[in-house]
Amino acid sequence: MKKILITGGAGFIGCHVVKLFVEKYPTYTIFNLDALTYAGNLENLRDIEDAPNYHFIKGDITDESFINELFDSHQFDAVIHLAAESHVDRSIMDPLGFVRTNVMGTAVLLNAARRTWKHADGKLFYHVSTDEVYGSLGEEGFFTEETPYDPRSPYSASKASSDHLVSAYHHTYNLPVVVSNCSNNYGSYQFPEKLLPLMINNIVHSKPLPVYGKGDNVRDWLWVEDHARAIDVIFHNGRLGQTYNIGGFNEWKNIDIVHLLCSIMDQKLGRAEGESAKLITFVKDRAGHDKRYAIDATKLNEELGWKPSLQFQEGLEKTVDWYLANTTWVENVTSGAYKHFYEQQYVQR
């Protein structure tokens, strides 16, 4: 009967992980810790909020005294650490905010776990990270778990720092840890500052579709529910001290994915083919925009048997269907204090 603390569980990826663990493991008690910033939304968890093995805690991972009290009170058996500032454009505007949350917040959690876990048996600190820590690829090759770190933005640098801290606590203090680095996630409940939900919402309202540069930056896309399944597998079967890359084996140029999305949206909205594509607007490229990411998830597949469940077009259509069926959710999360920022059209991780 494990007590598991999941940080950032009201966010995009976190809510899928929380729901999976709450529903799949009724003997686990899941504590969801989230500061409920702009991207954290308890509406994402409505269907499990009354589950007997689920508890929500509002709090900030950088608050050391609060975190220490939390660990003392609940004596967690494991941490799945997803809480992070995650948008590259925001990190360019406010790098220190990313350092505080992603680096200092991770250090606070690691210290609390180290202090509380006098015996490591059955304990685990699972740190969820990003492929962006590896930097940028050329036309060929893939990121593996042995790829040297080469972060290019304040966001990726902050995540690289937190990855190194987790590894250091494992080697220095024998803290039981595991790390995963994932590619671009897509699916339901993603805040509409990221590429796909922003484009979907803009197409619905016939607003411009801003694409950085020539749109030839390449990303590997991962269905968020497949990511949650991978976290489940790694949490239960991953080797301590190891890193696992999670990718969709699914590379797309930004401009190609926008064109595909426009075609799907034209069909869903009953518009003439090509109508939505007329909204595409090329804008000045982002500073330090990495050219290409591509994950080699062979280790995860061969050691733990995980592989993606969906072909990309199927997943993309499911994503479109969800956002079209949940326009009230979109309106709620894009209004209020962050509406002005959202309307500036910062996009594309």
What CATH number is associated with residue 236? 3.40.50.720
Are residues 33 and 113 located together in one domain of the fold? Answer: yes
CATH code (residue 270): 3.90.25.10
Proportion of the chain above pLDDT 90, given as a percent = 79
Are residues 129 and 210 located together in one domain of the fold? Answer: no
20 domain residue, yes or no:
yes
Predicted pLDDT of residue 140:
84
Are residues 325 and 231 located together in one domain of the fold? Answer: no
Residue 281 has pLDDT above 80, yes or no: yes
Are residues 39 and 133 located together in one domain of the fold? Answer: yes
Predicted pLDDT of residue 69:
98
Give me the domain span that covers residue 127.
Answer: 3-185+220-246
Predicted pLDDT of residue 186:
95
Select, from the ranges 33-37, 107-111, 119-123, 189-193, the one with the highest average predicted confidence (pLDDT).
Answer: 107-111
Are residues 60 and 180 located together in one domain of the fold? Answer: yes
Are residues 68 and 177 located together in one domain of the fold? Answer: yes
Helices (H), the chain: 12-24, 64-74, 88-93, 95-98, 105-116, 154-173, 195-204, 224-237, 254-269, 298-304, 312-325, 327-333, 339-343
* 331-334 contact pairs (CB < 8 A, 24+): 332/41, 332/43, 333/38, 333/41, 333/191, 333/192, 334/192, 334/201
So which residues are the catalytic ones? Answer: 131-132, 155
Predicted pLDDT of residue 118:
87
Reported as a single tens digit per residue, the pLDDT across 173-216 is 999 999 999 999 999 999 888 889 999 999 999 999 999 999 99
Domain count for the chain? 2
Nearest Cα residue to 142 out of 258, 299, 314, 289: 299
Residue 37 has pLDDT above 90, yes or no: no
Under a CB-based contact definition with an 8 Å cutoff, are residues 228 and 184 in contact?
no
- CA–CA dist 19, 5 (Å, integer): 13
65 domain residue, yes or no:
yes
101 domain residue, yes or no:
yes
Predicted pLDDT of residue 310:
87
Average pLDDT (308-329) is 93
Per the prediction, the chain carries an average pLDDT of: 92
Nearest Cα residue to 35 out of 134, 101, 94, 92: 101
Average pLDDT (54-61) is 97
Predicted pLDDT of residue 336:
52
Are residues 270 and 241 located together in one domain of the fold? Answer: no
Are residues 242 and 324 located together in one domain of the fold? Answer: no
Kindly indicate the confidence band of residue 123, based on its pLDDT and cuts at 50, 70 and 90.
very high
Kindly indicate the confidence band of residue 269, based on its pLDDT and cuts at 50, 70 and 90.
very high
349 domain residue, yes or no:
no
Average pLDDT (127-156) is 93
